[in-house]
């Protein structure tokens, strides 16, 4: 660990010394989550969501590997094999519901984790790489979840695969060959299902690898904190263990309760009943929508209904949808206010609230049918989304007068406690 | 090891233009490895393309004698839906009344049907937006504001010649290759 206040690993036990000299794994663990990772003392509960994302990934890995022992990735068998998991396999219903709802829980915590970063300016120097790697994880997660949703081979699976691969068909000239290449046919079929299963198995492990890079990059400058000022000395930090293992443990308990409520009392609430109808290439369900976690992006896709400057509406929608995520890769350079935390940026704070509302509206419209007034609302909301990052943030950084920053983390903590007392 | 290397003048074997024998070997070896790696990539990428059995889908024959005026059927051609529609005189008139210069994908009904069989509109049932099956061919399905087909996915609306009129789709519904074997049987593909 290279930040100046990190503790160095000095194993006492001869066995640990022996291992450490040959493979510095204990050192790695100590530096990542042990007392070797001193953490700012003022982290609030928004900082729980990184660990929770890791837990959610682990849950998906374990339940997924078990499901794969019973699942058959063949167009003729897939749907029935999922029903077999639900009805015949011992505890199969539990594992499948845990995996399907686990994906939703995963996205919930990751979205909160991302918005935490947006509010507290975690993407700013020197943590840009942490932010960029996080976005790579997010893209991989979306690809994984999309391909997972195709596996049960129900109506939503089939038409989701068709529509999402159709997005690539919008690329001028090479679009259609690319779509055919992705599917291995002219419509989703056995070839597509098999390759999606292969990749759905692979990508979560790629995600796990990028998570390691993400944490590695984080541990070079160390964690940021709600005050947004850097650590000045040992009085500003606490060892990760036991202080934050305990705080994360509490958060984990709350997460698991929420997960259990969803899993045991409303396991189909976030799913779509049409996916219990086997895939039928001849009939599109009347209302096709992706899973809820794609809704904001889906609304942006559908917001383009007319050609602009001779560019087909179809291409515009696709470019805007991918652009809405690619945009975030430039965020560290779009918002160049030196103040990190939104708590000390009054103007930024109001626009941040507006952005949250905007994304919720986009999400709502993305889940609604493709009809008015939703299309018009999506158009306005999509316009604001882009304006927020491309116009509002650079302007705010320029003209806003931030509140005075605390001298140190300890000062911020003490000031807060005296007010409360 | 270091001492041994220091004794050798690294430019000793340079030719007149300063290119060393070792540089040549280096470039040659790396390029060769590059060509090798690229040629391994070809089968890896190509295996993703449609396999022979998927491509080997033959043409189909459809008996259209039972389709009454105003009716349509859905059938399967190369694993994708095919619409065969028997247009009414009114639908033909509506399609012909359109000024084609105003269309996104300008085509007349005559160009989209076979000569002498203008009442038979035969198209793929694949929305040119993202590939959903538009409504309007089945009994009782909505046909949209232009009386042809309506795609429920993102609201593309097609007219009675299955031309795109409103919504995000860029093209008219595709007319596959087909011939009339007789007045009542068509061969598609
Ligand atoms: C990033 C982590 C993962 C995410 C977000 C994810 C997401 C999903 C989703 C949304 C489904 C559809 C659930 C349904 O509607 O039934 C699914 C199905 C499936 N996943 Fe995953 N998954 C992940 C990791 C894994 C892993 C590591 C495996 C191991 C092979 C796996 C194996 C499966 C199998 C076999 C199915 C089909 C059975 C079913 O539909 O329940 N998944 N996944
Ligand atoms: S697929 Fe038909 S409108 Fe999008």
Q: What residue spans define the domains of chain A?
A: 34-420
Joined tokens for residue A101: 């709802």
**3-state SS, one letter per residue, for A159-190:** HHHHHHHHHHCCCCCCHHHHHHHHHCCCCCCH
Matching residue, tokens 């036991």: A242
Pick the residue whose CA is nearest to atom 28 on ligand 1: A64
Task: Note whether A405 and A412 are within 8 A (CB).
Answer: no
How far is the C-alpha of B57 from the C-alpha of A196, rounded, in Å? Answer: 23
Nearest beta carbon to residue A305 from set B133, B151, B168: B168
C-alpha B170 – ligand 2 centre gap (Å): 10
How far is the C-alpha of B129 from the C-alpha of A364, rounded, in Å? Answer: 22
Pair B84, B172 in one domain? yes
CATH number of the domain that residue B105 is part of = 2.102.10.10
Pair B71, B16 in one domain? no
Pair B140, B174 in one domain? yes
CA distance A162 to chain B (A): 6
How far is the C-alpha of A80 from the C-alpha of A153, rounded, in Å? Answer: 9
Q: Is the dihedral of CA A223, A224, A225, A226 positive or negative?
A: negative
From A107, A200, A206, mutation site for ligand 1 pocket: most ligand atoms within 8 A of C-beta: A200
- Which regions of chain B are under pLDDT 70? 1-15, 57-58
Pair B120, B167 in one domain? yes
Which chain B residues have a beta carbon less than 8 Å from that of A162?
130-132
How far is the C-alpha of A282 from the C-alpha of B75, rounded, in Å? Answer: 8
Name the residue in chain A with its Cα closest to that of B141.
Answer: A286
| Phi, psi of B157, deg, nearest 5 | -120, 130
How far is the C-alpha of A219 from the C-alpha of A129, rounded, in Å? Answer: 11
Sort residue A336 into left (φ over 0), alpha (ψ -120 to 50) or beta.
alpha
Tell me the pairing of strands B157-159 and B164-166. antiparallel
DSSP 3-state of B11 = coil
- H-state helical runs in A272-400: 295-302, 313-329, 331-334, 346-367, 374-387, 393-399
How far is the C-alpha of A136 from the C-alpha of A301, rounded, in Å? Answer: 21
Joined tokens for residue B146: 């232009």
- Asked if A314 and B104 come within 8 Å (Cβ–Cβ), the reply is no
pLDDT for A45 equals 95
pLDDT for A28 equals 80
- Cα dihedral B6/B8/B9/B13 (nearest 10): -150
Tell me the ipTM for this assembly.
Answer: 0.72
Matching residue, tokens 């159709």: A166
Pair B78, B171 in one domain? yes
Pick the residue whose CA is nearest to atom 1 on ligand 2: B130
The set of protein residues with a Cβ atom below 6 angstroms from ligand 2 is B 127, 129-132, 151, 153-156, 167-169
From B156, B164, B171, B173, mutation site for ligand 2 pocket: most ligand atoms within 8 A of C-beta: B156
pLDDT for B158 equals 94
Pair B97, B38 in one domain? no
Pair B101, B159 in one domain? yes
pLDDT for A4 equals 63
* Catalytic residue flag (residue A99): no
Residue-wise pLDDT for B113-162, tens only, equals 988 888 899 999 999 888 889 998 888 888 888 989 999 888 889 999 99
Among A193, A140, A136, which Cα is nearest to A162's? A193
- Catalytic residue from among A248, A274, A335, A358: A248
Number of domains observed in the structure of chain B: 2
- Catalytic residue from among A291, A324, A343, A388: A291
* DSSP conformation letters of A196-218: HHHHHHHHHHHHHHHHHHHHHHH
C-alpha A208 – ligand 1 centre gap (Å): 15
Task: Note whether B72 and B137 are within 8 A (CB).
Answer: yes
- Catalytic residue from among A99, A219, A343, A388: A219
| Best of B42, B72, B130, B133 to mutate (most A CBs within 10 Å, chain A) | B130
Q: pLDDT in tens for each of the 421 residues of chain A?
A: 456 667 778 888 999 999 989 998 888 878 776 667 789 999 999 999 999 999 999 999 999 999 999 999 999 999 999 999 999 999 999 999 999 999 999 999 999 999 999 999 999 989 999 999 999 999 999 999 999 999 999 999 999 998 888 888 888 888 888 988 999 988 899 999 999 999 999 999 999 999 999 998 998 888 999 999 999 888 898 888 889 989 999 999 999 999 999 999 999 999 999 999 999 988 888 788 899 999 999 999 888 877 777 788 788 888 999 999 999 999 999 999 999 999 999 999 999 999 999 999 999 999 988 777 898 999 999 999 999 999 999 999 999 999 999 989 998 888 877 654 4
Which chain A residues have a beta carbon less than 8 Å from that of B104?
307
Name the residue in chain B with its Cα closest to that of A286.
Answer: B152
Task: Note whether B172 and B100 are within 8 A (CB).
Answer: no
Task: Note whether B40 and A174 are within 8 A (CB).
Answer: no
Beta pairing partners, A62: none
Residue-wise pLDDT for A353-386, tens only, equals 999 999 999 999 999 887 778 989 999 999 999 9
Q: What Cα–Cα distance (Å) separates residue A181 from each residue in A125, A341, B170?
A: 40, 46, 21
Pair B40, B59 in one domain? no
Pair B35, B117 in one domain? no
**Ligand 1 atom closest to Cα of A65?**
29
How far is the C-alpha of A413 from the C-alpha of A406, rounded, in Å? Answer: 9
Please indicate if any CB of chain A lies within 8 Å of the CB of B79: yes
C-alpha B173 – ligand 2 centre gap (Å): 11
How far is the C-alpha of B149 from the C-alpha of B134, rounded, in Å? Answer: 6
CA distance A187 to chain B (A): 7
How far is the C-alpha of A299 from the C-alpha of A142, rounded, in Å? Answer: 16
Among A2, A238, A29, which Cα is nearest to A11's? A29
Tell me the pairing of strands B60-63 and B120-124. unpaired
- Asked if B132 and A162 come within 8 Å (Cβ–Cβ), the reply is yes
pLDDT for A190 equals 92
How far is the C-alpha of B86 from the C-alpha of B186, rounded, in Å? Answer: 13
- Asked if B50 and A304 come within 8 Å (Cβ–Cβ), the reply is no
C-alpha A306 – ligand 2 centre gap (Å): 13
CA distance B5 to chain A (A): 31
C-alpha A99 – ligand 1 centre gap (Å): 6
CB atoms near residue A17 (< 10 Å): 13
Q: How many residues does chain B have?
A: 189
Range of the structural domain that residue B42 is part of: 2-46
Question: Thinking of the domain A34-420, which architecture would CATH place it in?
Answer: Up-down Bundle (1.20)
Q: Is the dihedral of CA A229, A230, A233, A234 positive or negative?
A: positive
Task: Note whether A3 and A222 are within 8 A (CB).
Answer: yes
Sort residue A263 into left (φ over 0), alpha (ψ -120 to 50) or beta.
alpha
How far is the C-alpha of B159 from the C-alpha of A56, rounded, in Å? Answer: 48
| Phi, psi of A43, deg, nearest 5 | -60, 135
Which chain A residues have a beta carbon less than 8 Å from that of B49?
180-181, 184
Q: Is the dihedral of CA B129, B133, B137, B140 positive or negative?
A: negative
Task: Note whether B128 and A169 are within 8 A (CB).
Answer: no
């Amino acid at each position: 660990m290279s930040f100046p206040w990190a503790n160095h690993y000095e194993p006492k036990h001869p066995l640990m010394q022996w291992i450490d000299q040959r493979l510095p794994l204990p050192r790695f663990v100590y530096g990542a989550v042990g007392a070797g990772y001193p953490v700012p003392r003022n982290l609030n509960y928004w900082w729980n969501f990184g660990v929770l994302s890791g837990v959610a990934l682990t849950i998906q890995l374990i339940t997924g590997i078990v499901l794969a022992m019973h699942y058959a990735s063949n167009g003729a068998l897939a749907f029935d094999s999922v029903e077999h998991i639900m009805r015949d396999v011992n505890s199969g219903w539990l594992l499948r519901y845990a995996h399907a709802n686990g994906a939703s829980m995963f996205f919930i915590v990751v979205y909160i984790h991302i918005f935490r970063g947006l509010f507290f300016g975690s993407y700013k120097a020197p943590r840009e790489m942490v932010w960029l790697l996080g976005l790579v994880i997010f893209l991989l997660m979306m690809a994984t979840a999309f391909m997972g949703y195709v596996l049960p081979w129900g109506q939503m699976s089939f038409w989701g695969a068709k529509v999402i691969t159709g997005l690539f068909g919008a690329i001028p000239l090479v679009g259609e060959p690319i779509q055919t290449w992705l599917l291995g046919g002219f419509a989703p079929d056995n070839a597509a299902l098999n390759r999606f299963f292969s990749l759905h198995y692979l990508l979560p492990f790629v995600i796990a690898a990028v998570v390691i890079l993400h944490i590695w990059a984080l541990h070079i400058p160390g964690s940021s904190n709600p005050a947004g000022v850097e650590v000045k000395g040992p009085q500003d930090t606490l060892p990760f263990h036991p202080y934050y293992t305990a705080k994360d443990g509490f958060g984990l308990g709350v997460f698991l309760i929420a997960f259990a409520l969803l899993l045991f009392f409303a396991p189909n609430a976030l799913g779509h009943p049409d996916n219990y109808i086997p895939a039928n290439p001849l009939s599109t369900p009347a209302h096709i929508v992706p899973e809820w976690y794609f809704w904001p992006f889906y609304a942006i896709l559908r917001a383009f209904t007319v050609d602009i400057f001779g560019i087909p509406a179809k291409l515009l929608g696709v470019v805007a949808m991918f652009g809405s995520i690619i945009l975030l890769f430039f965020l560290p350079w779009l918002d160049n206010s030196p103040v990190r935390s939104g708590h000390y940026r009054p103007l930024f704070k109001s626009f941040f609230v507006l952005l949250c509302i905007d994304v919720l509206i986009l999400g709502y419209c993305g889940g609604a049918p493709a009809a008015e007034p939703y299309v018009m609302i999506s158009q306005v909301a999509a316009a604001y989304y882009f304006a927020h990052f491309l116009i509002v943030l650079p302007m705010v950084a320029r003209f806003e007068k931030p509140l005075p920053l605390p001298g140190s983390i300890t000062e911020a903590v003490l000031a807060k406690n005296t007010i409360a007392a | 090891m270091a001492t041994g290397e220091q004794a050798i003048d690294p430019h000793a074997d340079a030719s007149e233009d300063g290119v060393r024998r070792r540089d040549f070997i280096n470039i040659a070896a790396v390029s060769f490895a590059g060509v090798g790696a690229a040629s391994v990539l070809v089968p890896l990428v190509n295996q993703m393309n449609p396999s022979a059995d998927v491509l080997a889908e033959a043409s189909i024959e459809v008996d259209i004698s039972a389709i009454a005026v105003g009716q349509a059927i859905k059938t399967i051609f190369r694993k994708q839906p095919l619409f065969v529609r028997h247009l009414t005189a009114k639908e033909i008139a509506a399609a012909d009344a359109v000024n084609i210069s105003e269309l996104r994908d300008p085509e007349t009904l005559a160009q989209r049907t076979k000569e002498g069989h203008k009442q038979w509109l035969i198209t793929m049932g694949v929305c040119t937006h993202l590939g959903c099956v538009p409504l309007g061919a089945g009994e009782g399905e909505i046909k949209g504001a232009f009386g042809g087909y309506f795609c429920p996915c993102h609201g593309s609306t097609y007219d009675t010649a299955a031309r795109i009129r409103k919504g995000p789709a860029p093209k008219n519904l595709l007319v596959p290759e087909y011939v009339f074997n007789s007045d009542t049987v068509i061969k598609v593909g």
